[in-house]
Amino acid sequence: MADNLPSEFDVVVIGTGLPESIIAAACSRSGQRVLHVDSRNYYGGNWASFSFSGLSSWIKENQQKTDISEESEDWRKLILETEEAICLNKKDKTIQNVEDVCYASQDLAEDVKEAGALPNLPDFEASETSEAAQESEKECLPVESQSLGTASCEISSERIIGNDPGSTTERKDAEMTSERENLCDVTSDQSPLETGKTETISTTEAAALEPKKITYTQIVKEGRRFNIDLVSKLLYSRGLLIDLLMKSNVSRYAEFKNVTRILTFQEERVEQVPCSRADVFNSKQLTMVEKRMLMKFLTFCLDYEQHPDAYQDYKEYKFSEYLKTQKLTAKLQHFILHSIAMVSAADSNTIEGLKATKNFLQCLGRYGNTPFLFPLYGQGEIPQCFCRMCAVFGGIYCLRHSVQCLVVDKESGRCKAIIDHFGQRINANYFVVEDSYLSEETCTDVCYRQISRAVLITDQSVLKTDSDQQISILIVPPMELGQPAVRIIELCSSTMTCMKNTYLVHFTSSSTKTAKEDLEPVVQKLFTLNAETERESKNGGLEKPRVLWAVYFNMRDSSGIDRNSYDHLPSNVYVCSGPDSALGNDYAVKQAETLFQEMFPNEEFCPSPPNPEDIIYDGDGTPPEDPRFSNSSNMKTEPLSEESSDENSYKISEEHHKE
Amino acid sequence: MHGRLKVKTTEEQAKAKRLEREKKLRQYIAVTTAIFEKRKAGQLDKEALELTNQILGANPDFATLWNFRREIFLHLEKEGSPEEMQALCQGELSFLETCLRVNPKSYGTWHHRCWVMGHVPHPDWARELELCAKFLESDDRNFHCWDYRRFVVLRAQVQAEDELRFTDGLITRNFSNYSSWHYRSRLLPHLHPDPRQPGRPTEAVLLTELQLVQNAFFTDPNDQSAWFYHRWLLGRANPEPTFLCIYVSRDDASLVVAFSQPVGVMPGSDDLILFVDEAPVVVVWHTPDGRNRPGHVWLCDLPASALNDQWPQHSFRVHWAGGETQKECVLFQGCRDCWCRDSVIEEQVFRCELSVEKSTLLQSELESCKELQALEPENKWCLLTIILLMWALDPLVYERETLHYFDTLKAVDPMRSAYLDDLRSRFLVENGILRMEYAEARVVDLSGRGLTILCHLEQLLLITHLNLAGNRLRRLPPTLAALRCLQVLELDGNQIETMEGLPPLPHLEELSLCSNRVQRPADLRPLASFPRLRLLALQDNPVGSLPTAQSELAALLPQVEVTLA
């Protein structure tokens, strides 16, 4: 297929993480010819989400210390006298200290497989050759890489056939139909999922009586129900990413659920933080006076800039110190510092704290009683949505497509082309490269920070309520000074990221040591690690949820790096960071917009797609199908729609609540 | 640049839009004309339904067309089978739903839905409740939907418990919801009636409700909805009218009764019956001002036979509302008058805004409000509630404190200062009356209180001497005529301009109006009909500078000694 790839593009994007995908979409939207490649066989890079087996493969791959086999250096022939090559990385080194532990009982026979498992990494592919297996793989293809997978490569081959510049309409047509097919795939894929659901319901009823033990076998079997994010983030409902999703109409490709609870860990107990007006009103844990104090302070924070005299004298103070000067009880100070402002007690000053609190409060009530949204099927959906938009406007996608080097013109110092692993030379004007693709030589002067991550599969929520479908965020303040706070996001099965009767718990902190050293103490505070011990604590206090399975790893945080610290990069090569440790996605969006504006200062960044009626089509050709970008002003949730499939998940497009 | 979508320019867009609009308008007019022609021709058929469908779908506020549809429905109801009618109504209901999405606050649409639900052979009330729930979810203050919901609840006979739970849900989601709070005030007395106070819920319920509503006003003290509900919780049932006082005067040959609340006495009705010496007497009841509007005080002229001084005594008894409440007094030989009056207990004299029976409840409410006030010193709702609570608890003990809160409240809420002045006046008048009661005197001193209005005058039926000097009164209310025994009235240092509208006070002898704003002698004309007025002090009034004042007044009030300077 790669033989068919055109050799001329406007923009080549290497890496399919969030910022790269946004840039690819923006470029494609503004009419650039975009080639978007990723050396991995999945979308998203370190922003990806995996099924259980997918993650297992990922773990194995990152634990192996594979030697880089010296490949042929044939491609060097393609470089002219007047040019030089900047080699790119052969092996991703952003993930370290990967350690997975299984706590659930492992009564499994060796060969238990994920139902309809899709080989995630190429190594697996050869073994299973029976036709039936291949059939089923094809059917469920979109699950893993959610629709854009190899299909888009097929699109590109079709494109090339009709590469005559005059026949844009026709080309578009082909594209649209294949897009459609993809969509159909997604929907048809859901039907086995649905039936799966009903099956499990009967078992849950039984389980309601006594908590059901979930074995490792079950996890593996139900592995496709998991969508395990490598980075754990949420969308602030008034954050840059939501704005961008709405403005560009990419939001139509994703569904979201509101985070339902903000939790706090205080005096060895997990409690819910009341943060909206309705929460405060309904809260049983606050006294009347505390309710007033909290509301008063929060109301002040909403427009603190208007009352400078209230904080002017404390500007230089730490936010935690400032809170002490306000009329707030210790409990309220804890709520505000750790769960609302979510800033560090040790570092953040008053202004930072007030700003963070204001941001939190402004996001409240837009889609529900907490400020956050979580994308169904995992964070990994978001980069893919932008890729899809890029493809809709003509971008070409190739996964498992590594790039050997960038070709730089010695005289002008500009990058002219890339040479891919097939030895094809592809010319372009602009190159966008994700940090992890850059070789060690390029990055000698770069100093990276690290993120500590843990992902647990557990059997119960950290705070049980009547509903077992809660999405919670919990900040655990540092136990000792100098340590970072740990952010925990607990996902329930209705987020489509884990199987029934389990919870997926993400831990994130900036690293001081290895991920396990950083995070395990917090894990032990909240969970029982030994799944085999009977719950003996029936008499004493709250039962902790049990961990069934866990993985720890460190991920490189390449955000906030000055471009000049990369060695010898031509000016038309733009570097995107991998995921940062913050909760929101603002960094990635800001970076994408900045880089796009540097490349195309006169172009609008991801403008709203035009109304289909306003598109003028060349010649007399019938207009192509609605590119699924029509205005969606009537997407309001309609009263009494017959199928009330899932009341709490919705497309973002209109404000859901009138406040 | 290639590959880019070509989009129409704004000018082209505007033109296309304009043409589109014009086309739509032409269609609209054509269809509307067709509909009216059909109506004129009496064609009540499915085609007419289809046409009105088109217009109402776009503009559901076209009331005439809903009327026409009803005509068609009534016609089709006569012709078709119930099954056909059922299908027709069902279609109509789903059509109405789409109309409601166009405008969820359309009067015509909701009304038509009511009508259809009344005509559908097999109504599905559960579905209607669900529909209301959905609409209230998107706008919990949509009163059209609330109204319709009440209709549905009534017809579907939903249990009050379920309804209470429904309001629970709405309040949990957003407590700023007048409709829900009000609904609770209707449901609770029905679900947990207090046997002693009809129309009120039991105390246990009150306590949990107070807890709930406190949560609301501590969370957001500026939200009025909770305060209104709070006021209702602490209020009490409207008592039946009773007699405060009965007074018989031999000199005036009249009998006066004062009621605890305004009542109307229809001429010729037997609501209010007088028995003299145990025999009913036909009398003509009228109010002191002769207008016979509902009021506290009613009087009648007595026949000479009832006042015969040769007899050792005459008994007078009045009956109200078939004898449920009555009062009696006896006029002995040689007495000029007689009366019977209830001795006063403060909780009963005045029906305060807030007065549950348990003062402990009020006390604890007062404490939490003061706590809130410490945090929110400028919250007017909190201040007002504190005033009302102290007023209900013990107006005399808390008098100084209450007046202080009035001052604070006026400062934070200057927009309502006149209202607050009047409220404060009422408070002070009540306290003045209570003090008089304890002193068992017929003299009331309400001077220098900053009064802006006079009220509770029906309590002062027997007063002979009233001092209102140094207040801020602008005029005297017609209800002043309730003071049937008043002999001396001091009004120095007010802002009175006229006596216009004041009915005669039968026993008033001295009136002091120094330092007021009387401009012309004519403004005092009503005094001419005061039968016993002898002295009128008018020093320091604009009228004094009028050269002809003395002579004009002499002509106007020949019996009265007027002092102008």
What is the pLDDT, as a whole number, of residue A66? 65
For A269-318, the pLDDT digits (tens) are: 899 998 888 889 988 888 888 999 999 999 999 999 999 988 988 988 99
Across A492-625, the runs of DSSP E, i.e. the strands, are: 503-510, 547-557, 573-576, 615-616
Helix (H, G, I), strand (E, B) or coil at A612: helix
Residue B483 and residue B511 in contact, taking contact as beta carbons nearer than 8 Å: no
Q: Which of A165, A295, A658 sits opposite B219 (nearest CB)?
A: A295
Q: Is B159 on the interface with A (CB under 8 A)?
A: no
- Look at B220 and A658 and tell me if their CB atoms are within 8 Å: no
Contacting residues of A for B1, CB less than 8 Å apart? 31
Which of A142-146, A257-261, A651-655 shows the lowest mean pLDDT across its residues?
A: A142-146
User: From the CA of B259, how many Å to the nearest CA of chain A?
Assistant: 43
Domain residue limits at A330: 255-375
What is the pLDDT, as a whole number, of residue A435? 94
**Mean local confidence (pLDDT), B18-35:** 92
Contacting residues of A for B173, CB less than 8 Å apart? 278
Token output for B405: 């809160």
Q: Is B215 on the interface with A (CB under 8 A)?
A: yes
Contacting residues of B for A31, CB less than 8 Å apart? 1-4
Q: Which residues on adjacent β-strands are paired with residue A574?
A: A432
What b/e readout covers A91-115, taking b as 16+ CB neighbours within 10 angstroms?
ebebbebbeeebbbeeeeeeebebb
How far is residue A235's CA from residue A582's CA, in Å, rounded to a whole number? 11
What b/e readout covers A334-368, taking b as 16+ CB neighbours within 10 angstroms?
bbbbbbbbbbbbeebbbbebbbbbbbbbebbbbbb
Which of A21-35, A59-73, A620-634, B9-23 shows the lowest mean pLDDT across its residues?
A: A620-634
Q: Is B529 exposed, middle or buried (0-12, 13-18, 19+ CB in 10 A)?
A: exposed
Domain assignment of residue A439, yes or no = no
Q: Which of B7, B130, B174 sits opposite A615 (nearest CB)?
A: B7
What is the pLDDT, as a whole number, of residue B307? 86
Token output for A401: 């497509």
Map out the domains of chain B with their CATH numbers: 10-215+223-233 (1.25.40.120), 243-335 (2.60.40.1130), 349-417 (no CATH), 441-563 (3.80.10.10)
User: Does residue A174 carry a pLDDT above 70?
Assistant: no
What is the pLDDT, as a whole number, of residue A453? 97
For A43-52, the pLDDT digits (tens) are: 999 999 999 9
Q: Give alpha helix (H) positions in A213-305.
A: 216-221, 240-248, 277-282, 288-302
Q: Give alpha helix (H) positions in A527-626.
A: 586-599
In 3D space, the residue among A315, A354, A386 whose CA is nearest the CA of residue A19 turns out to be A386
User: From the CA of A601, how many Å to the nearest CA of chain B?
Assistant: 15
- Look at B3 and A614 and tell me if their CB atoms are within 8 Å: no
For B318-346, the pLDDT digits (tens) are: 998 766 788 889 999 888 889 888 765 55
Q: Is A508 on the interface with B (CB under 8 A)?
A: no
User: Does residue A176 carry a pLDDT above 50?
Assistant: no
CA torsion A345→A351→A353→A359, rounded to 10°?
-160
Contacting residues of B for A281, CB less than 8 Å apart? 172, 175, 215-216, 219-220
Domain assignment of residue A561, yes or no = no
Q: Is B101 on the interface with A (CB under 8 A)?
A: yes
> Would you place residue A645 in the very low, low, confident or very high pLDDT band (cuts 50, 70, 90)?
very low
* Domain count of the fold of chain A: 1
How far is residue B246's CA from residue B267's CA, in Å, rounded to a whole number? 20
Domain assignment of residue A241, yes or no = no
**Mean local confidence (pLDDT), A471-491:** 91
In 3D space, the residue among A612, A618, A646, A642 whose CA is nearest the CA of residue A249 turns out to be A612
User: Does residue A631 carry a pLDDT above 60?
Assistant: no
Q: Tell me how far CA of residue A7 lies from CA of A11, A12, A76, A359, in angstroms.
A: 11, 11, 17, 46
Beta strand pairing call for A430-434 and A372-375: unpaired
User: Does residue A501 carry a pLDDT above 70?
Assistant: yes
> Would you place residue A611 in the very low, low, confident or very high pLDDT band (cuts 50, 70, 90)?
confident
Q: Is A176 on the interface with B (CB under 8 A)?
A: no
Pick B190 or A114 by higher pLDDT.
B190
Residue A4: count other Cβ atoms within 10 Å of its Cβ: 13
CA torsion A75→A79→A83→A89, rounded to 10°?
-10
Residue B354 and residue B235 in contact, taking contact as beta carbons nearer than 8 Å: yes
Q: Is A282 on the interface with B (CB under 8 A)?
A: yes
Domain assignment of residue A331, yes or no = yes
Which of A535-539, A649-653, B432-436 shows the lowest mean pLDDT across its residues?
A: A535-539
In 3D space, the residue among A519, A459, A517 whose CA is nearest the CA of residue A485 turns out to be A519
Token output for B135: 């609409």
Complex-level ipTM: 0.73
Which H or E run contains B22?
helix B10-40
Q: Which of B100, B174, B372 sits opposite A292 (nearest CB)?
A: B372
What is the pLDDT, as a whole number, of residue B203? 82
Domain assignment of residue A295, yes or no = yes
User: Does residue A642 carry a pLDDT above 70?
Assistant: no
Residue B561: count other Cβ atoms within 10 Å of its Cβ: 12
Which of A65-79, A105-119, B384-398 shows the lowest mean pLDDT across its residues?
A: A105-119
**Mean local confidence (pLDDT), A191-215:** 47
User: Does residue A659 carry a pLDDT above 70?
Assistant: no
Which of A190-204, B14-28, B303-317 shows the lowest mean pLDDT across its residues?
A: A190-204
Token output for B450: 């900053």
Q: Which residue has the tokens 């956050």?
A: A372
CA torsion A128→A129→A135→A137, rounded to 10°?
30
What is the pLDDT, as a whole number, of residue A11? 97
What is the pLDDT, as a whole number, of residue A610? 77
Q: Is A601 on the interface with B (CB under 8 A)?
A: no
Mean pLDDT score across all residues of chain B = 88
> Which of B124, B218, B364 is the best substitution to test chain A (most A C-beta atoms within 10 A)?
B218
- Look at B220 and A277 and tell me if their CB atoms are within 8 Å: yes
Q: What share of chain A is helix, strand, coil (3-state, %, to 5)?
A: 35, 20, 45
Pick B274 or A191 by higher pLDDT.
B274
Domain assignment of residue A581, yes or no = no
How far is residue A538's CA from residue B87's CA, in Å, rounded to a whole number? 59
How far is residue A51's CA from residue A229's CA, in Å, rounded to a whole number? 9
Contacting residues of B for A613, CB less than 8 Å apart? 16
Mean pLDDT score across all residues of chain A = 79
Domain assignment of residue A368, yes or no = yes
What is the pLDDT, as a whole number, of residue B343? 63
User: Does residue A152 carry a pLDDT above 60?
Assistant: no
Q: Is B218 on the interface with A (CB under 8 A)?
A: yes
What is the pLDDT, as a whole number, of residue A555? 96
For B134-176, the pLDDT digits (tens) are: 999 888 888 999 999 999 999 988 899 999 999 998 898 888 8
What is the pLDDT, as a whole number, of residue A179? 39
- Look at A280 and B1 and tell me if their CB atoms are within 8 Å: no
Token output for B539: 């020093």
User: Does residue A650 carry a pLDDT above 60?
Assistant: no
> Which of B17, B140, B142, B219 is the best substitution to test chain A (most A C-beta atoms within 10 A)?
B219
Q: Is A302 on the interface with B (CB under 8 A)?
A: no
What b/e readout covers A20-29, taking b as 16+ CB neighbours within 10 angstroms?
bbbbbbbbbb
Which sign does the torsion angle of CA B104, B109, B113, B115 carry?
A: positive
In 3D space, the residue among B391, B473, B476, B468 whose CA is nearest the CA of residue B427 turns out to be B391
What is the pLDDT, as a whole number, of residue B487? 94
Q: Which of B5, B172, B215 sits opposite A615 (nearest CB)?
A: B5
In 3D space, the residue among A603, A169, A157 whose CA is nearest the CA of residue B1 turns out to be A603
User: Does residue A127 carry a pLDDT above 50?
Assistant: no
Give phi and psi for B110, each to the nearest 5. -65, -40
> Which of A8, A288, A643 is the best substitution to test chain B (most B C-beta atoms within 10 A)?
A288
Which CATH number do you get for residue A311? 1.10.405.10
**Mean local confidence (pLDDT), B207-235:** 89
Contacting residues of A for B368, CB less than 8 Å apart? 288
Contacting residues of B for A8, CB less than 8 Å apart? none
Q: Is B130 on the interface with A (CB under 8 A)?
A: yes
How far is residue B508's CA from residue A523's CA, in Å, rounded to a whole number? 90
User: Does residue B457 carry a pLDDT above 70?
Assistant: yes
> Would you place residue B299 in the very low, low, confident or very high pLDDT band (cuts 50, 70, 90)?
very high
Residues contacting B555, CB < 8 A, separation 6+: none
Domain assignment of residue A315, yes or no = yes
Contacting residues of A for B216, CB less than 8 Å apart? 281
> Would you place residue B200 in the very low, low, confident or very high pLDDT band (cuts 50, 70, 90)?
confident
Residue A281 and residue B213 in contact, taking contact as beta carbons nearer than 8 Å: no
Which sign does the torsion angle of CA B515, B516, B522, B528 carry?
A: negative
Q: Which of A288, A610, A640 sits opposite B97 (nearest CB)?
A: A640
Residues 354-383 of B with CB under 8 A from A: 368, 371-372, 375-376
Percent of chain A with pLDDT over 90: 55
User: Does residue B63 carry a pLDDT above 60?
Assistant: yes
Which of A177-186, A333-342, B30-39, B266-275 shows the lowest mean pLDDT across its residues?
A: A177-186
A347: left (phi over 0), alpha (psi -120 to 50) or beta: alpha
User: Does residue B476 carry a pLDDT above 70?
Assistant: yes
